[in-house]
Structures are given as C-alpha cells and as structure tokens.
C-alpha cells in the first residue's frame, strides 16, 4: 500500500494531467479557428493533448497495483482565449513545468520522513524520465516560435514547420 498522503499527491498529479489535457484541447481549437495554425493544432492535439490522459492512466494503474483508490480532481472550464500562438505555448510550458514540480514534490515525500516508499519513489523517477521529452518538446516549440516572430506571416511559416520541434514521435496522420 501507499501512504495516504503520498497517494493523495498521486491523485493531484493525475488531476494536473487532466487539466493539461483540457488546456491543450481548448488551445488546439483556438489555434485552429482563430489563428489558422491548422498543422500545429493537429499535431499538438494528437501528440500532446491525447498523451496526458493516457499518462494519467499509468498513474492510476500504479495506484491500483498497490491496492489504493484513485481520485480524479475536477478541472477548470476550458474557455481560455489566446491572442497569439506563442501566448499559449508559453502558458503550456509553464503548466508542464508545474507538473514536473508536483512529481518532484511527491518524489521527495516518498523518500523522507516516515513514509520511505521506495517502490513509489522508483515509479515517480520513471514518470520524470518519461516526461522529460515532452517538456523538451514544449521548450523547443516556445524557443523556436519566438525566433519566428509574432506577425501572421512568421506564425504561418512556423505552423508549416512545427514538426521539427518535436522530440517525441508525432502521433497520427499529419
């Protein structure tokens, strides 16, 4: 079994992944409709937005394997508007970094005090290792998009070339 406090940290991590899914789903709608970043929306949706709930499932499966219940925290309403693609990309990078911080906090909790849960510690280390290429991908998107500039022509060119930012395999027909 997992310590209740540590299991609750895992629940919060699961909630953050579903929040990221909602953030990315909404942003893909805005990218596609408002900014006409059709390629970016398609690739980000299939490769990143769809990844988050699948990744959350791996955490809940771990909880179940340790005879613990999962709880799914609520997510915020998906109604954000982004004035430019780079605005979304920067927010997404910030939120993905917060997720990494949450995992690191849970990892610290797993090895300190009276908890000493080495199985969960190893599991969380694996989560961080799996997360790294996704965070690197978003970092690349932010850095390269900024280099293109924020005018419409530059953003359309970036949209045509976004796939070069991806460290993780692109999913789907793009």
Per-residue model confidence as pLDDT tens digits over 45-95: 999 999 999 999 999 999 999 999 999 999 888 899 999 999 999 999 999
What residue numbers bound the domain in which 51 lies?
Answer: 4-165
- Domain membership of residue 171 (yes or no) is no
- Domain membership of residue 124 (yes or no) is yes
pTM of the model as a whole: 0.94
- Domain membership of residue 14 (yes or no) is yes
- Domain membership of residue 172 (yes or no) is no
- Domain membership of residue 19 (yes or no) is yes
Give the chain's domain count.
1
Q: Name the token pair of 149.
A: 């500039």
pLDDT in tens, 152-164: 899 999 999 999 9
The phi, psi pair for 67, rounded to 5°, reads 65, 40
- Domain membership of residue 173 (yes or no) is no
- Domain membership of residue 141 (yes or no) is yes
The phi, psi pair for 74, rounded to 5°, reads -70, 155
- Domain membership of residue 75 (yes or no) is yes
């Amino acid at each position: 079994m997992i310590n209740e406090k540590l299991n609750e940290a895992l629940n919060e991590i699961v909630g953050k992944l579903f929040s990221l899914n909602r953030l990315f789903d909404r942003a893909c709608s805005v990218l596609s409709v408002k900014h006409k970043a059709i390629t970016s929306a398609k690739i980000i949706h299939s490769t990143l937005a769809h990844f988050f709930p699948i990744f959350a499932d791996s955490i809940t499966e771990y909880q179940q394997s340790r005879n613990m219940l999962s709880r799914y925290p609520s997510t915020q309403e998906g109604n954000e508007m982004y004035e430019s693609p780079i605005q979304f990309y920067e927010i997404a990078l910030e939120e993905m970094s917060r997720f990494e911080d949450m995992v690191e906090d849970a990892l610290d909790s797993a090895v300190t005090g009276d908890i000493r849960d080495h199985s969960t510690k190893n599991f969380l280390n694996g989560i961080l290792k799996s997360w790294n290429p996704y965070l690197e991908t978003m970092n690349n998107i932010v850095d390269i998009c900024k280099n293109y500039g924020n005018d419409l022509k530059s953003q359309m060119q970036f949209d045509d070339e976004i796939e070069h930012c991806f460290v993780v395999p692109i999913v789907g027909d793009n």
